[in-house]
C-alpha cells in the first residue's frame, strides 16, 4: 500500500537538460574510446600476427 513507485514519492534522480547533455557526451566519448581500443587491438593483431600475445618480458 506504500509502494513508492505508485505514490510518486521516490522517482529517483531527475536530471536537468544540462545534466542529460553532459551525460550523453560522456557516454559517446566512452563508446568512441572503447571502439578505438577494439580497432587498435584488431590492427595490432594483423601487424603482429598470431604471436601478438607472446611479448618479451
Interacting residue ranges for other proteins, rule: CB under 8 A: 4, 9-16, 18-19, 22-23, 25-26, 28-29, 37, 40-41, 43-44, 47-48, 52-53, 55-57
Residue 1 or 47: the one with the smaller Cβ distance to other proteins is: 47
Closest approach, Cβ 3 to other proteins, in A, equals: 12
- Give the span between the Cα atoms of 57 and 53, in whole angstroms: 11
Closest approach, Cβ 18 to other proteins, in A, equals: 6
- Give the span between the Cα atoms of 12 and 4, in whole angstroms: 10
Amino acid at each position: 500500500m506504500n509502494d513508492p513507485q505508485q505514490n510518486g514519492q521516490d522517482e529517483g534522480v531527475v536530471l536537468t537538460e544540462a545534466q542529460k547533455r553532459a551525460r550523453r557526451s560522456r557516454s559517446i566519448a566512452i563508446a568512441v574510446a572503447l571502439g578505438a581500443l577494439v580497432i587498435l587491438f584488431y590492427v595490432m593483431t594483423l601487424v603482429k600476427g598470431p604471436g601478438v600475445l607472446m611479448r618479451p618480458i
